[in-house]
Amino acid sequence: MKITVIGAGNVGATCAQLLANAELANEIILLDVIEGIPEGKALDMYESMPIFESDSRIYGTNDYAKTKDSDIIIQTAGLARKPGMTRDDLLVKNADIVNACIGSAFEYSPNAFYIIVSNPLDVMTYVALRKTGLPKTKVIGMAGILDTARYRSFISMELGVSMQDIQGMILGGHGDTMVPLTRFTTVAGIPVTDLMSKEKLDAIVARAAGGGGEIVKYLKTGSAYYAPAAAAVQMVESIVKDQKRIFPCSVLLDGEYGYNDVVVGVPCVLGKNCLEKVLELNLNDDEKALLENSVVHVRETIEEAKKLLGM
């Protein structure tokens, strides 16, 4: 297994380290346009492998030729948010970056699976799909896992119980228009609505939707990276190990939930063939309305990206 991580910033470097620690690939390529950064970080990680008892090999490079025949490409390169910025504010710069990076990677790895992490996530996944021309099963975005992880962690904080017992599902676009399915949220099988008030749950949902912005306010010169990287690596693990796990991922809809030609988060089965199945849940009227709002917002941003890139 050969995995390439595009972008040696905080998210990309953390991805590479987590992949190597878990020995999810024999060879990991960390690529960045800045000379010396991927080489130095990769060497540092390589030297930590004996401590983690991992035989993964990590190499840093500025040359896409070194990524040739990768099985999985993880796209993290792009500008990070600053205080006051939304994910959509990154559209102009990151559309160009993702378009260029994915185009170069595809030249050397046309058969790879592509996992997109760059923001605005759903739109960048659409850009990658159109740039490569690959089927939707091979280009997916990481978003719902991160949103759900934040949601679960905040429920754990409120109830004082193990995060391992909390299950949840968040659909829709990554960000303020995400669709929390609170009626599907359980704690050791108990509906979360039996354990806390609607007001507290609503506050948790709002905090999860703004979870990235909350971190940006603290960091001031950067954005979240530990949780986003962990979410991407969890997707890789399900694919590499053919676990068939069900995660909310950003994928191109082709009639599912009544939508076409738009990328939003929906429940997906991830296995050796990457996206193996989209699960269609029986949403109630309120959930359908929230999803519609999310789809409209993402579609508008996709149209902006298409104009910028002449797609």
Q: What is the pLDDT of residue 93?
A: 86
CA–CA dist 166, 172 (Å, integer): 20
Q: Give the domain-ending residue among 141, 164, 199.
A: 141
Same domain, 157 and 135: no
Q: Which residues are CB-neighbours of 152 under 8 A, at least 6 positions away?
A: 163, 166, 167, 168
In whole angstroms, what separates CA 138 from the centre of its chain?
A: 14
Tell me if 73 sits within 8 A of 118, measured CB to CB.
Answer: no
Same domain, 171 and 282: yes
Query: Which uninterrupted H or E stretch holds 273?
Result: none
CA–CA dist 111, 189 (Å, integer): 40
CA–CA dist 98, 124 (Å, integer): 7
Residue found under tokens 């997916």 = 140
In whole angstroms, what separates CA 293 from the centre of its chain?
A: 21
Would you list the DSSP string of 151-214?
Answer: HHHHHHHHHT--GGGEE--EEBSSSTT-EE-GGG-EETTEEGGGTS-HHHHHHHHHHHHTHHHH
Same domain, 135 and 149: no
CA–CA dist 74, 15 (Å, integer): 9
Same domain, 15 and 84: yes
Tell me: the pLDDT tens digits for 21-42?
Answer: 999 999 999 999 999 999 999 9
Same domain, 162 and 74: no
Tell me: the pLDDT tens digits for 265-286?
Answer: 999 999 999 999 999 999 999 9
In whole angstroms, what separates CA 302 from the centre of its chain?
A: 17
Average pLDDT of the residues in 128-137? 97
Same domain, 248 and 272: yes
Q: List the CATH number of the domain containing 67.
A: 3.40.50.720
Same domain, 180 and 264: yes
Tell me: the pLDDT tens digits for 38-92?
Answer: 999 999 999 999 999 999 999 999 999 999 999 999 999 988 767 776 656 778 8
Same domain, 170 and 279: yes
CA angle 310-259-233, nearest 5°? 75
Tell me: the pLDDT tens digits for 90-127?
Answer: 788 899 999 999 999 999 999 999 999 999 999 999 99
Residue 3, sorted as left (phi over 0), alpha (psi -120 to 50) or beta, turns out to be beta
**Residue 238 CB neighbour total at 10 angstroms:** 21
CA–CA dist 19, 76 (Å, integer): 14
Q: List the CATH number of the domain containing 184.
A: 3.90.110.10
CA–CA dist 115, 83 (Å, integer): 26
Residue type, 74: I
Same domain, 11 and 116: yes
Q: What is the pLDDT of residue 220?
A: 86
CA–CA dist 167, 25 (Å, integer): 28
Same domain, 242 and 101: no
Residue from 150, 174, 297, 299 carrying the catalytic annotation: 174
Q: Which domain holds residue 44?
A: 2-141
CA–CA dist 200, 223 (Å, integer): 26
Q: How confident is the model at residue 167 (pLDDT cuts 50, 70, 90)?
A: very high
Q: Give the domain-ending residue among 83, 112, 141.
A: 141
Same domain, 130 and 244: no
Q: What is the pLDDT of residue 196?
A: 95
Same domain, 136 and 151: no
Look up the pTM and report it: 0.95
**Six token digits for residue 298:** 């993402």
Q: What is the pLDDT of residue 175?
A: 77
Provide the domain count of the chain: 2
Q: Give the domain-ending residue among 77, 109, 141.
A: 141
Instruction: Let me know if 297 is a catalytic residue.
Output: no
Residues forming beta bridges with residue 73, ordered by sequence position = 4, 114
Residue 276 sits at φ, ψ, to 5 deg, of -100, -25
Query: Average model confidence (pLDDT) for the chain?
Result: 94
pLDDT at 143 over 90: no
Would you list the DSSP string of 80-144?
Answer: PP-TT--GGGGHHHHHHHHHHHHHHHHHH-TT-EEEE-SSSHHHHHHHHHHHH---GGGEEEE-H
